[in-house]
Amino acid sequence: MTTRVIEVDPGRFDRWMAGFAERHGPYDAAEETTPGGVVVSARAADGSTVVATPFVHEPLGVILVRRGGYAVGLASATTFTASKVGTRHVQSRTAAGGWSQQRFARRRGKQADELVDAVVGHARRVLLGDDESPATGADGIPHGLVVGGDRTLVREVLDAGALRALAGLPMRELYDLPDPKRDVLETALRRGRSVRIELDEATPGGVS
């Protein structure tokens, strides 16, 4: 059994399932309605299985942070209605020892703190309209989040009190993304909106 995770555009999902049937034979499917959409589970004649999980939350917030920069966006469907992309340098680790290493670590920690503070400020403005305590269900507030980059920095951003309104939102994590730039922000939105398919193949076969 070969296990893979595939991300498919929602508009291509029916075609992907048709291809699954062609490769593995007729399948039995079950559906479960969730806040993020209808989860489809299927088992084909050869024993291959699929669990397809959508992520349908409108509007969708995106927060990407790495030591080289950040990107924050608020999207409706496939389009960003507001966004901010920037760079902010945080030095890499050093092999130096002693007092110099301690001084370097303090400077590096200060740079990381400044990066987190900057991203929190941009996220508050872009995602919450500068309102730290928006009313439940307020217009223009994310119903789901896509996050990526450096796991530790993302956690520090989300733990900030100014972003407490985002706590508990459904979340897609994309920690394999490169340094945030505009094209990376667009990629995060596309992948965040995708149907995430867990595929267990009983026999070898290509996946479109």
State the DSSP H helix or E strand holding residue 172, giving kind and residue range, or none if neither.
strand 171-174
Instruction: Clarify whether residues 169 and 77 are in a common domain.
Output: yes
The predicted structure's pLDDT at residue 103: 53
For residues 26-34, give the mean pLDDT. Answer: 97
With respect to residue 71, please indicate whether it lies within any of the assigned structural domains: yes
**pLDDT score of 104 more than 50:** no
The predicted structure's pLDDT at residue 141: 92
Lowest mean pLDDT among 22-31, 92-101, 168-177, 183-192: 92-101
Instruction: Clarify whether residues 47 and 76 are in a common domain.
Output: no
Instruction: Clarify whether residues 67 and 100 are in a common domain.
Output: yes
C-alpha to C-alpha distance for 87 and 103, rounded to whole angstroms: 23
Q: pTM (2 decimals)?
A: 0.85
The predicted structure's pLDDT at residue 1: 75
The domain in which residue 10 lies consists of: 2-56+194-201
The predicted structure's pLDDT at residue 140: 86
For residues 167-182, give the mean pLDDT. Answer: 95
For residues 160-188, give the mean pLDDT. Answer: 95
**pLDDT score of 122 more than 80:** yes
| C-alpha torsion sign, points 143, 113, 90, 124 | positive
The predicted structure's pLDDT at residue 138: 77
SS3 46: coil
Query: Could you read off the pLDDT of 133-162 as tens digits, one per residue?
Result: 887 767 889 999 999 999 999 999 999 999
Instruction: Clarify whether residues 47 and 150 are in a common domain.
Output: no
Longest dimension (CA), the chain: 67
For residues 175-195, give the mean pLDDT. Answer: 96
Instruction: Clarify whether residues 69 and 167 are in a common domain.
Output: yes
Query: What percent of the chain is predicted at pLDDT more than 70?
Result: 85
Q: Return the bridge partners of 2, or none.
A: 201
Between 140 and 13, where is the model more confident?
A: 13
**Can the peptide bond before residue 59 be classed as cis, meaning omega within 30 degrees of 0?**
yes
Instruction: Clarify whether residues 109 and 167 are in a common domain.
Output: yes
C-alpha to C-alpha distance for 7 and 1, rounded to whole angstroms: 19
Query: Could you read off the pLDDT of 51-64 as tens digits, one per residue?
Result: 999 999 999 999 99
Between 67 and 190, where is the model more confident?
A: 190
With respect to residue 142, please indicate whether it lies within any of the assigned structural domains: yes
C-alpha to C-alpha distance for 67 and 93, rounded to whole angstroms: 11
The predicted structure's pLDDT at residue 132: 84
**pLDDT score of 110 more than 80:** no
